[in-house]
Amino acid sequence: MIPEQAITLTTGDGVALEACLGVPAGGIVVCHPHPLYGGDMDNPVVLHAVAVAAALGLATLRFNFRGVGASEGGYDEGKGESRDALAAVAFAVANSGVRAGAVTLAGYSFGAMVATRAGLATQEVNRVIAVALPVAMADLSSLGAASKPVLLVSGDRDSYSSPGGVRALGTALGPLATVRIIPGADHFFGGFEGELSSVIAGALDARV
């Protein structure tokens, strides 16, 4: 497993974010769940995603959104958090030697919404992994067709990320989107961590 080191990264609007970097940097950047409901970079699903990437030999970067932990600033309803995600991607590229355009941006719950919006908007990201994206609470109608691979993962007992809503989003994103529904899993994937890890590993193993 690639060891992590504590770092600070700065967004385009000058907000310093607390983060943990897997050395060498690059490979995958992971966004955590909603800051107002206890989400942070130590969330179990975030840590599972990081562990999967490290086991595949990829370096990792997980970080706290603005206002979380030692990160500066405050909750910004997804707008500032998208800037946070893009700053994390830029940091990973600048400090890793990994070429821009070869980074996976992943997220869980609120972080999946941020990762999808930010990841589809930048050429530095070549793949998006959205775990339990809360389709019932997010308006993603403006995204249009995806120009890069997107993996949408949900449990069939997830009331925030319903299978029907996730499949509808996958259809809207077009042929580059893949939907995986894990039977029996709810929004938190308790008891289904192995299945989730396998799905994430499959996507990362197929990275460009």
pLDDT tens track, the chain, 208 positions: 567 889 999 999 999 999 998 755 448 999 999 999 999 999 999 999 999 998 888 878 999 999 999 999 999 999 999 999 999 999 888 876 566 778 999 999 999 999 999 999 999 999 999 999 999 888 888 889 999 999 999 999 999 999 999 999 999 999 999 999 999 999 999 999 999 999 999 999 865 3
Domain enclosing residue 73, as ranges: 4-205
SS3 137: coil
Say what the pLDDT of residue 132 is: 98
CATH number of the domain within which 133 lies: 3.40.50.1820
What total of structural domains would you count in the chain? Answer: 1
Which among 104, 105, 111 has a CA at the least distance from the CA of 161? 111
CB atoms within 10 A of CB 131: 31
Query: Taking a C-beta distance cutoff of 8 angstroms, is the pair 75, 66 a contact?
Result: yes
**CA 94 to chain CA mean position, Å:** 19
Run of H or E residues at 178? strand 177-182
